[in-house]
A and B are shown apart, each in its own frame.
Chain A
C-alpha cells in the first residue's frame, strides 16, 4: 500500500497564480520529499523536508510539514506554463538502522494555462 496520498489528483490554474498541492501519509517519517515529472521523463527531485523541520523554501517552492497531522503541502508561487507536470510526494519511513527506501504517492497533475 502507498504511504503518501496527494490531493488534489489534478489541478488546473492560470499562469501567475499559486498552486498548492497536499500530501498525507500514514506512518512516522524521517523525511518527506517532493518530485516533479515531465511527460515521458524520469522524476526530478525538488525539495526535501526532515521530520524536525516545519517549513522550507527553494526559489518559488515552499514546503510545509505538519507531523502531528501527518501532512505536507507544496506551494508553487507565481506559476508558469513550464511548471506543467506531475508532482509526487515521497516519504522515507526508515527506522533507525533500517535501509533507506522512499514510498511514493500517486501524483498530482498540474496544468498551468498560459
Chain B
C-alpha cells in the first residue's frame, strides 16, 4: 500500500463546530486530493493540491478549505460543520510522472449531529 494515513478514522461532531481532517503521505508525491463519498453520488472532488501551498477547488468545495504547508500533509477543514457534510472522506495521492493512478487512504467517517 502507498504510504497514506488519514486521521482521525472516525469523528462525531456537532453542527457549527470546526473540524480538521488530516492526510499524511510518506511518498513525497506532488498531487494530493480530498474526495467525499455519499450514497447515490459516488466520489466527488472537494479540493486538490498540486504542490506546497498550491491548491485548487473541486466540484463540491463550498464549506471546505484546505492547506498544504509541507509536501507530506494535506489538511481539510470544515470551518463550521453542517449535517450535509456527514460523509466518508477519502484522501488520495497521484503517482509520480507517467504513473497517473491514484492511491487512496482508508477514509474518515465524519458524522455531524
Listed in ascending order, the chain A residues whose CB lies under 8 Å from chain B are 1-2, 31, 33, 35, 41-45, 48, 88, 90, 92, 99-107
Contacts and interface: CB of A to CB of B under 8 A. Distances in A.
A37 to B, nearest CB: 9
Interface in B64-107: 90, 92, 94, 100-107
Contact of B90 (A42, A90, A92, A100): A42
A42 B31 contact: no
Contacts of B106: 41-42
29 contacts: A2-B41, A2-B44, A31-B100, A33-B100, A35-B102, A42-B105, A42-B106, A43-B43, A43-B90, A43-B92, A45-B103, A90-B102, A92-B100, A99-B31, A99-B48, A99-B50, A99-B56, A100-B31, A100-B50, A101-B33, A101-B48, A101-B58, A102-B33, A102-B102, A103-B45, A104-B42, A104-B44, A106-B42, A107-B42
A interface SS class: strand
B interface SS class: strand
Interface residues of B, number: 25
Given A33-B102, A43-B92, A99-B48, 9 more contacts: A2-B44, A33-B101, A35-B102, A42-B90, A90-B102, A102-B45, A104-B35, A105-B42, A107-B42
